[in-house]
A and B are shown apart, each in its own frame.
Chain A
Amino acid sequence: MKKGNCTEKELLKKAKEGDRSSFNVIVGNYYKKGFAVAFRYTGNSRDAEDLLQDAFLKVYKNIDSFDLEKDFGPWFFKILINGCINFIRRKKIKRALFSFKEDYEEIGIDIEQTKEYADYENPEGDLVRNEISTKIWEAINSLPKKQKSAVILADIEGFSYEEISKILNCPIGSVMSRLYYGRLKLKNFLKEFFYEKGKNDEM
């Protein structure tokens, strides 16, 4: 992110002045990573794309208020992740309201499709049912949102502690803590695969 910061700042300056083509270049620099992050939260391409579009639109509407002294990346990912978290919360509420099979059938939804793991597709776009992927998906999904965000950003998408600290707007010490406890919960959740993996490593 540091590389090319000067160029990015110039682009941001022009975007703030209303230059749409400069903003388009910024979109080009972030949309792939943004999609990947949104995908980790939602588990499917369709929702990930919607959330990504929402995030860029929000950024575009608020580009005037962006402080050029700060880095654009953490600001963008913060908006994106907040959108993802809100999306998941709304989805859970919707599921809680329609908790009976009859309710689903009445409105024409196959209940199997509504279970969380059924939303998970592999990054190639195929809906998967294999146990390990599902288990990992369920494990990550079960984490409290702060720990989930830290694990997704660090372990799946490879952000540094400093970047995560800026994105999640918390001290680096909190990033360490969230990662530690998040991984601890995941270890307990994935115990059977964990020990299997451990054995395979030893071999």
Chain B
Amino acid sequence: MMKCKIPKEKLTAYVDKALSREETDIIEEHIKSCPGCRLEIADIKSVKSIISGVSEVKKSPAFWDSLYLRIMQRLDYGADKIFSFTKRKLEYIIGFAFIVLFALAILWNNPFDKNGKENIAENLGEDKELELLLKEHDLSAENSIIPEFMNIAYISRNDRGRK
């Protein structure tokens, strides 16, 4: 038997009417003189016939309605899960953002420093008075531990005040 040059896949496509007009004409011309391809086409048609003889999926309207309903319920359940996950994530992000903003606000305003400044301002006068007293009684830092201590404390407060 002469070897046929037509690819077999083309015969399947021919049976399925999936070829172009031009290709279809070529096949139809070819099978006039090729019994092998005619037999192949007959086989393909028979198999198709058997397989497509499988019943169409026919269900009652009630079945389709309840199937649709169950799909909707599944989507609701699944969507809630998605939504709650997204919502939680959003809550975490917002919460974190608030914490960061709050921390920044604290650092920016520095309420402890403000209090410190006020204390320093209040104490400044007292210290000055004390200093005068010390000088008056010659109880300067050189002669006394306590004044030195107080000077150190005054200086450290002053440094904070400059901040």
Chain A residues engaging chain B, CB cutoff 8 angstroms: 20, 23-24, 27-28, 31-32, 35-36, 39-40, 49, 52-53, 56-57, 60-61, 122-125, 133, 136, 140, 151, 154-156, 160-161, 172-173, 176-177, 179-180, 183, 186-187, 190, 193-194, 197-198, 201
Knowing that A151-B51, A183-B44 are A-B contacts, what are 14 other residue pairs whose CB atoms are under 8 Å apart, sorted by A's residue number?
A: A31-B64, A35-B57, A53-B74, A122-B55, A155-B51, A156-B51, A160-B18, A161-B13, A161-B16, A176-B18, A179-B9, A183-B12, A194-B43, A201-B46
Shortest Cβ distance from residue A54 to the other chain B in the assembled complex, whole angstroms = 8
**Cα distance, A173 to B18, chains bound together (Å):** 11
Picked from A52, A124, A161, A173, the residue with its CB within 8 Å of the CB of B58 is A124
CB distance from B138 to the nearest CB of A (A): 84
A9 CB to nearest B CB, Å: 21
Contact A123 B9 (CB under 8 A): no
**Residue of A35, A133, A173, A183 with highest tally of chain B CB at under 10 A:** A183
Instruction: Check if B130 is an interface residue, CB within 8 A of chain A.
Output: no
B78 interfacial contact with A, CB 8 Å: yes
Given A124-B58, A186-B51, CB of A194 within 8 Å of CB of B46: yes
Cβ contact within 8 Å between B71 and A53: yes
> A190 with B50: in contact, given A61-B82, A180-B12 (CB under 8 Å)?
yes
Query: Is B109 part of the binding interface, using a Cβ–Cβ cutoff of 8 Å?
Result: no
Interface hub of A39, A56, A180 (most chain B Cβ within 10 A): A180
Question: What residues of chain A lie closer than 8 Å to B87, measured between beta carbons?
Answer: none
A interface SS class: helix
Chain A residues lying within 8 Å of B72, measured Cβ to Cβ, are 24, 27
CA distance A122 to B55 in the complex (A): 7
Count A-B contacts at CB 8 Å. 110
Judging by beta carbons under 8 Å apart, are B55 and A190 in contact? no
Given A123-B59, A161-B16, decide whether A60 and B78 contact each other with a Cβ distance below 8 A.
yes
Q: Are B43 and A49 in contact (CB under 8 A)?
A: no
Tell me the complex Cα distance, A154–B55, Å: 15
On whether the beta carbons of A123 and B58 are closer than 8 Å, the reply is yes
Q: Are B10 and A156 in contact (CB under 8 A)?
A: no
Whether A56 lies near B75 (C-beta < 8 A) is yes
B42 to chain A: which residues have CB within 8 Å?
A: 198
B119 to chain A, nearest CB (A): 56
B16 — which chain A residues lie within 8 A by C-beta? 154, 161, 179
B68 interface hit (Cβ, 8 Å): yes
Q: Contacts A190-B47, A190-B50: A27 and B68 contacting too (C-beta < 8 A)?
A: yes
